[in-house]
Chains A and B, each alone.
Chain A
Amino acid sequence: MLNAWRWWRGIIIAFSLVAIGRLFLPLPFVNEVLIFSIYTIGCNFLLGRVGFISFGQPAYLAIGAYGTAFYLFYFGTNPYIGILAGVTAGFIFALIVAPLFVRLRSDYFALVNLALAVIIFYMMQKVLVKITKGDNGLWFLTNITSTPILDLTKPSDFFIFALLIAIVLWAFYKYVDGTIFGACCLATKINETKFQFLGYSNFRIRLMAFVIANTSTALAGCLYAVYLGSVSPEITSPSRTADPIVVTILGGVGTLFGPLVGTIAYTGLRDVISKMIGNWELFIGFILVFIMLTNSSGLYGGAENALNKWLEKARVSNLNKKKPK
């Protein structure tokens, strides 16, 4: 019981804070934070655990969003089945591209992913214009029916749903970090030759990690689609490809709550700054360069390090006090 509490403690505290924030922050902001942090955690896992930097996360986001959108626009009305359809689409898509991509070296991987995002953008905007309606996007807010327990058409109920999803997802990633698979991921990042020597397959581990990360990215896309009730190619536009990377680095690469903290900082800053000067890219660019140059470990990473150092100090001074007796 105590162990279970210790394991869940961080997640529960973090998301209770988000739930408390719901009381005095505007609802669209909290919803955006939840969806965006789900979007970022896949990227965080890839970058921090597997060592893959992906500038193409919007591609997977768009696949999930369009999967949901197609279902809700053309076939059905139930948002839960829509989300399921989107996640399945994202899973299958990741499974198709994964064997091609994970063989590549990390730099080629980033470039190919970026190219993929741009291609998906053009596909949705121009090539598949008959079914995606091009730049106008698909609008299906009125198609979504109310469901009995959690009514996803209401933003307040959507918040509870997104919160539950986020808790499950965070618990899942925390669990993965603790398993042998998680250790394997870290090992391929640090020393792939030695890892191969131990008898594991780099390819298989990376494939699994890639599929897991991008399925969770697709899930964020589905949530966006249901929440906004519309999807347009803007979701994967080339100028937004860096968003998840920026948030990951802002929050702290490879930390569990980095994506959440990073998202809150990023979305908050964006709302404040675009009201003040309206020139948003400039600011993001400079933040990115600044964090990279000062070599800091992000907001959450930095706070975690400081906390650990402080705890360590307290422990050492306690020991010193005891010694003379």
Chain B
Amino acid sequence: MDIQLLFSGVIFGLSLASIYFLISIGLSLCFGLMRIISLDQLLYYSIGAYITYSVVTVSNNFWLGIIAGVMVGGLVAFIVERLIFRRIYERELTFSMITSFGILLGGIGIIKAIWGVIPRPIKPPFANQIDLLGTDVPAYRILVIAIAGLVYIGIWLFLNKTIIGKAIRAGIEDMNHVEGLGINASRLFTITFVLAGALSALGGGLYAPLIMVDPSMGLEILAFVFMVVIIGGLGSIKGTLISSIIVGQVVSIGSLIYAPLAIMAPFAMMLIILLIKPTGLYGNKLNK
């Protein structure tokens, strides 16, 4: 295979991996701390993309759009957490799954009512190509990868260097002890949920120029985000990073070899990994 083609394939895969990472990190954090499966992260992803679209068409400033998208995504996550998730933390896992799927469907309905069903394009902030090792790659994709890298470093610092982050990590280990130490659990949950929602919205806003914005965009990416979370193991941040890179590369390189492979290969890989280790690469047995 052409080495230049391969290289641009790798860059393409990394940019996909960045988007997958931004969305699945929220799912993973929510599962780790609150033991819920929050499918509505895909809703904040769509909301982020749509708000970005609206602000960009009005103000013509892409970065303003991204910031607005992240803020609105976080705000909606806050409202949903306060109104709905607050009541179901104690329940079984499947319970949160069904409820959050209901929220996702309802949210998609609202998006359809506001913006209509027609897919809408967003112009990337810059369309120039960068010459990297003799290969032309779109500068915007490099930027997406860089932002995802920054987010990973930011999350790592947040979880390891701040008190709230340390409390979240301790909560993933044992929530009862954390509460016993006098840390406000419900505030911790809210912070984590809003953080997860804002990151999903960021992913949506960043991905919007690369695809069309349409109401079912959340459902389209759902399967891939799930594969990332399952392969990495629910509740593990390092696992999420590694598996998002794996899935991104498999999709990208696979589509270079044989187009339908892009969708089939990650699934086959997921099955094999689950056969060997039913909890994913970095997941551990959790009791609930």
* Chain A residues within CB distance 8 Å of chain B: 47, 51, 53, 55, 100, 103-108, 110-112, 114-116, 118-119, 122-123, 126-127, 238-239, 242, 245, 249, 279-289, 292-293
Q: Bound state CA distance, A288 and B40, in angstroms?
A: 13
Contact of B105 with A288 in the complex, beta carbons under 8 Å: yes
Assess A115 versus B101: contact at CB under 8 Å? Given A126-B260, A279-B113, A292-B95: no
- Count chain B CB atoms within 10 A of each CB in A51, A106, A118 and give the residue with the most: A118
Partner of B230, one of A103, A112, A118, A282: A112
Contacts of B7 in A (CB 8 A): none
Contact of B106 with A285 in the complex, beta carbons under 8 Å: yes
Assess A107 versus B93: contact at CB under 8 Å? Given A115-B227, A126-B263, A293-B87: yes
Q: Does B223 contact A (CB under 8 A)?
A: yes
Chain B contact surface mostly: helix
Contact of B270 with A285 in the complex, beta carbons under 8 Å: no
- Known: A104-B278, A288-B102; 12 extra A-B contacts, CB below 8 A, are A55-B97, A107-B97, A108-B230, A112-B230, A114-B226, A127-B264, A279-B109, A280-B109, A281-B112, A292-B88, A292-B99, A293-B88
Q: Does B279 contact A (CB under 8 A)?
A: yes
What are 23 A-B residue pairs whose CB atoms fall within 8 Å in the complex?
A51-B94, A53-B94, A53-B97, A53-B98, A55-B101, A103-B278, A105-B278, A107-B93, A111-B229, A114-B226, A115-B223, A115-B226, A115-B270, A127-B260, A127-B264, A238-B223, A239-B216, A279-B112, A279-B113, A284-B109, A285-B102, A285-B105, A289-B103
Q: Does B274 contact A (CB under 8 A)?
A: yes
Contacts of A293 in B (CB 8 A): 84, 87-88, 99
Q: Does B47 contact A (CB under 8 A)?
A: no
Contact indicator per residue, chain B 199-230, by CB within 8 Å of chain A (1) or not (0):
00000000000000000100110110011011
Contacts of A238 in B (CB 8 A): 216, 219-220, 222-223
Assess A100 versus B103: contact at CB under 8 Å? Given A53-B98, A118-B222, A238-B222: no
Distance (whole angstroms) from the CB of B266 to the closest CB of chain A = 9
Contact of B103 with A112 in the complex, beta carbons under 8 Å: no
Contact of B109 with A282 in the complex, beta carbons under 8 Å: yes
Contact of B230 with A281 in the complex, beta carbons under 8 Å: no
Partner of B102, one of A47, A279, A289: A289
Contacts of A288 in B (CB 8 A): 98-99, 101-102, 105-106
- Count chain A CB atoms within 10 A of each CB in B223, B229, B234, B270 and give the residue with the most: B223
Q: Bound state CA distance, A112 and B113, in angstroms?
A: 31
Partner of A282, one of B88, B106, B267: B106
Q: Bound state CA distance, A104 and B233, in angstroms?
A: 12
Q: Bound state CA distance, A239 and B107, in angstroms?
A: 13
Contacts of B110 in A (CB 8 A): 282
Contacts of A286 in B (CB 8 A): 102, 106
The 6 closest A-B pairs by CB, nearest first: A282-B109, A285-B106, A288-B102, A285-B105, A118-B223, A281-B109
- Count chain A CB atoms within 10 A of each CB in B102, B108, B267, B279 and give the residue with the most: B102
Contacts of B230 in A (CB 8 A): 108, 111-112, 115
Q: Bound state CA distance, A55 and B223, in angstroms?
A: 11
Contacts of A47 in B (CB 8 A): 94
Distance (whole angstroms) from the CB of A234 to the closest CB of chain B = 13
Assess A245 versus B264: contact at CB under 8 Å? Given A112-B270, A238-B222, A289-B84: no
Looking across the interface, which residue of chain B has its beta carbon closest to that of A109?
Answer: B94
- Count chain B CB atoms within 10 A of each CB in A103, A111, A245 and give the residue with the most: A111
Partner of B98, one of A104, A118, A127, A292: A292
Contact of B222 with A114 in the complex, beta carbons under 8 Å: yes
Contact of A285 with B264 in the complex, beta carbons under 8 Å: no
Q: Does B30 contact A (CB under 8 A)?
A: no
Q: Does B181 contact A (CB under 8 A)?
A: no
Tell me the residues in window 53-102 of chain B with beta carbons closer than 8 Å to chain A beta carbons. 84, 87-88, 93-95, 97-99, 101-102
Q: Does B164 contact A (CB under 8 A)?
A: no
Q: Does B257 contact A (CB under 8 A)?
A: no
Looking across the interface, which residue of chain B has its beta carbon closest to that of A53?
Answer: B94
Q: Bound state CA distance, A104 and B229, in angstroms?
A: 14
Contact of B222 with A282 in the complex, beta carbons under 8 Å: no
Contacts of A292 in B (CB 8 A): 88, 95, 98-99, 102
Contact of A106 with B94 in the complex, beta carbons under 8 Å: yes
Distance (whole angstroms) from the CB of B263 to the closest CB of chain A = 5
Looking across the interface, which residue of chain B has its beta carbon closest to that of A281?
Answer: B109
Partner of A107, one of B94, B105, B216, B219: B94
Distance (whole angstroms) from the CB of B191 to the closest CB of chain A = 23
Q: Does B271 contact A (CB under 8 A)?
A: yes
Looking across the interface, which residue of chain B has its beta carbon closest to that of A285?
Answer: B106
Contacts of A105 in B (CB 8 A): 278-279
